């Protein structure tokens, strides 16, 4: 795809090209930096005064959003004031630069830095000024070597008992059980709703948990699983049902006698939260199946079950794969639900809770970072798949 607004550039001199690059990179970095200082000063000002909270909130919102917008406007004016040649060279970097700079600062570089930190012990690499590499290299590298542990954090990730149980939970319960359950439930609801007069209401209600925070869902389900002493009335619905059928009330998520199957009670929560997502995508896919195909097969005497398995499933296979992948990525990172419900106790730890505990509670940044890298490696296949899809797309040749 060719872009518009291209100037007829006839081979600029190397010096000109070098200047252009310096200016481009400068622009990309300068805009966020100025935005930052502008906003930061505003915050210092706000913090110093003791205005009511509402005023601070409104000013902060206007200040934050307006500040960024004005900055784009000003920089664009600046670039447009140059000669058309230079405008064409620099303007794209006013548009794209800030986004790329933020990406690099908040995602790309951190990935590399986290990997670097993961090669060191508890406190990470020593906090020495980088300039020491030149002024006093021997001391710098001695300090570095003292903290360096190589890949032993990774060895720990795959041998530590707690971490192994977290990996098992992620693979067996979250990927192995939660994901297929969500996909099946979503598919079931989508198919049923498609044939019902109450489609809109039903879909809206099943979809609703998507708007609820994981912490909120934690409260909701804690209440469902609430256990009262056996002699009194159960106020939690699940225990009330169990007792009505003659069973014993339990705390379910902390019921270690059935460990590791108490994880299932956390899985239920995520299935409840995510089914709506799967349903919406499946529903759209099912509506895309040409009516004639299904009608024709019915005329030929196919039963509903046959129609479902022989026609619908193959037709929406692409969507099933997309939904499954998205939910796998989601369940790999599952954190809030587990943290709020059990804090990772009772054998319910997952990779993300272990990451949080090691990085921010035990303050073992080397080990925590190694866990984060394991998470990253786990999503790399999806990343590669996405990039392949991009290459096949017409729009970006």
Cβ proximity to another protein: between 5 and 246 the closer is 5
d(CA 111, CA 127): 19
Cβ proximity to another protein: between 137 and 303 the closer is 303
CB of 26 to another protein, least distance (A): 15
CB of 286 to another protein, least distance (A): 13
CB of 222 to another protein, least distance (A): 7
CB of 205 to another protein, least distance (A): 5
Cβ proximity to another protein: between 138 and 392 the closer is 392
Cβ proximity to another protein: between 220 and 289 the closer is 220
CB of 138 to another protein, least distance (A): 25
CB of 314 to another protein, least distance (A): 21
Cβ proximity to another protein: between 198 and 261 the closer is 198
CB of 310 to another protein, least distance (A): 19
CB of 147 to another protein, least distance (A): 15
Cβ proximity to another protein: between 178 and 206 the closer is 206
Q: Per residue in 359-394, is it b (16+ CB within 10 Å) or e — as a string? A: beeeebbbbbbbbbbbbeebeeeeeeeeeeeeeeee
Cβ proximity to another protein: between 210 and 293 the closer is 210
Cβ proximity to another protein: between 80 and 139 the closer is 80
Q: Which two tokens stand for residue 227?
A: 């256990």
């Amino acid at each position: 795809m060719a872009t518009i607004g291209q100037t007829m550039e006839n081979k600029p001199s190397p010096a000109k090209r070098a200047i252009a690059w310096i200016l481009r990179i400068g622009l990309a970095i300068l805009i966020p930096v100025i935005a930052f200082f502008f906003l930061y000063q505003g915050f210092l000002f706000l913090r110093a005064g003791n205005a009511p909270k509402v005023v601070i909130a409104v000013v902060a919102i206007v200040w934050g959003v307006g500040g960024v917008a004005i900055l784009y406007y000003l920089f664009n004016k600046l670039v447009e004031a140059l000669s058309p040649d230079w405008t064409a060279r620099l303007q794209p970097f006013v548009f794209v630069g800030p986004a790329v700079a933020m990406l690099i600062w908040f995602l790309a570089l951190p990935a590399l830095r986290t990997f670097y930190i993961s090669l060191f012990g508890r406190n990470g690499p020593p906090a020495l000024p980088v300039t020491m590499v030149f002024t006093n290299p021997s001391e710098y590298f001695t300090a570095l070597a003292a903290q360096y542990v190589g890949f032993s954090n990774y060895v720990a990730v795959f041998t530590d008992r707690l971490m192994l149980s977290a990996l098992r939970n992620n693979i067996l319960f979250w990927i192995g059980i939660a994901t297929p359950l969500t996909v099946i439930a979503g598919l079931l609801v989508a198919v049923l709703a498609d044939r019902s007069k109450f489609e809109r209401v039903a879909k809206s209600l099943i979809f609703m948990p998507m708007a609820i925070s994981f912490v909120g869902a934690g409260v909701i389900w804690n209440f469902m699983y609430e256990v009262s002493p056996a002699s009194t009335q159960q106020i939690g619905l699940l225990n009330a049902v169990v007792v009505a059928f003659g069973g014993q009330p339990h705390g379910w998520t902390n019921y270690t006698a059935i460990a590791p199957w108490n994880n299932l009670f956390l899985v239920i929560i995520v299935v409840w939260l995510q089914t709506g997502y799967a349903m919406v995508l499946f529903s759209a896919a099912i509506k895309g199946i040409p009516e004639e195909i299904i009608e024709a097969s019915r005329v030929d005497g196919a039963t509903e079950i046959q129609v479902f398995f022989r026609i619908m499933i193959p037709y929406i296979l692409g969507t099933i794969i997309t939904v499954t992948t998205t939910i796998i990525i989601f369940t790999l990172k599952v954190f809030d639900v587990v943290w709020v419900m059990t804090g990772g106790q009772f054998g319910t730890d997952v990779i993300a809770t272990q990451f949080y505990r090691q990085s921010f509670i035990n303050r073992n940044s080397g080990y925590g970072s190694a866990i984060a890298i394991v998470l990253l490696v786990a999503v790399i296949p999806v990343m590669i798949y996405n990039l392949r899809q991009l290459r096949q797309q017409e729009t970006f040749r």
